[in-house]
Structure 1
Amino acid sequence: MSLVIEQAVEARLVAAAPRMATIPATLHYDVGDPFAVRMAFPAPATLEGVDVSWTFARDLLAAGVDEGSGEGDVRVRPYGYDRTVLEFHAPEGTAIVHVRTAELRRFLKRADDLVPSGREHLHLDMDEDLAELMRDAC
């Protein structure tokens, strides 16, 4: 069984113009960081013209597909019957994308099959993490 999940999703960028552009994005889940998910956008889809990734709590994404969640840089909320809004706030501005809720639920199900929600702590190597911190401190 793979310890990493990657799933391509179709996102619609919400812009000032009435037309919403479709952009590719990739959701990523790694057992090595069991509390987090990452959403990556390729360079052509970003204002800076470089690949951009946002890492945030898996629980935030799971909660946000059903009701608004998040108060910080990443916020997630349902939008209508079949879409979820993800907002990414940075000093340079805010990016808002719509993703099909079914795609997010499928990704979350795959992550939950790999590491059940609430059991993430069993996949942490605290001894190794502490040793790495101590190496960096010297």
Structure 2
Amino acid sequence: MERLTTRITMRLMTGDERSRDLEVGWSYRADDPHAVDLDFSSYQPGTVWTLSRDLLVTGLLRPAGEGDVHVTPYDNDRVLVALGGREGVALLAASAEPVARFLAATAGMVPPGREHTRIDWDQGLKDLLAA
């Protein structure tokens, strides 16, 4: 299984002195080509958000997202990611350059528009029928 992982520093924006940097694990698997996992376990154990790769790519260029997840460019060199949950919204800022570099590397693994060639449709159907 092809997998790409990196750590990207994201600033948790709280609007007060409690704002802090988080080392977030970003991972991408070629066999789940539409998804990027953001692992916040070093901050809150077991917390992983799965975001759409397309949403992240679009969010580097212009505001994107609906519902609980929004991504938007911010001040020329950062990207904002808003994650909504039961406890409210977490607003995170990251340098756009490492995010763009990570997403470019995922495109090297599975080019955009070719994701369907990497999905195991038979196994997905078996899993669905077994549920």
- Shorter-chain TM-score category? over 0.9
- AA of the residue aligned to 1:132: D
After TM superposition, give the deviation of residue 121 of structure 1 in Å.
0.5
Structure 2: tracts of 5 or more residues without a match? none
Structure exhibiting the larger radius of gyration computed from Cα positions: 1
Structure 1: tracts of 5 or more residues without a match? none
The sequence identity of aligned pairs, in percent, is: 32
- AA of the residue aligned to 1:61: L
After TM superposition, give the deviation of residue 60 of structure 1 in Å.
0.1
Give the TM-score of the pair, scaled to structure 1: 0.89
Structure 1 segments (4+ residues) deviating >4 Å: none
Does 2:104 align with 1:105? no
Residue number in structure 1 paired with 2:46: 51
Please give the residue correspondences for 1:116-131 in structure 2 after superposition, counting only pairs within 5 Å: 116-131=111-126
Separation of aligned partners in 2, 1:6 and 1:51: 17
Q: 2:129 aligns with which of 126, 134, 138?
A: 134
Residue number in structure 1 paired with 2:77: 82
Could you report, residue by residue, the CA deviation over 1:28-71 in whole angstroms, capped at 9, with x for unpaired residues?
1011211111111124x24xxx2311101100000001100001
Separation of aligned partners in 1, 2:72 and 2:15: 20
Contact 1:24/1:42 (8 A) holds in 2: no
Query: Which moved further from structure 2: 17-26 or 93-102?
Result: 17-26
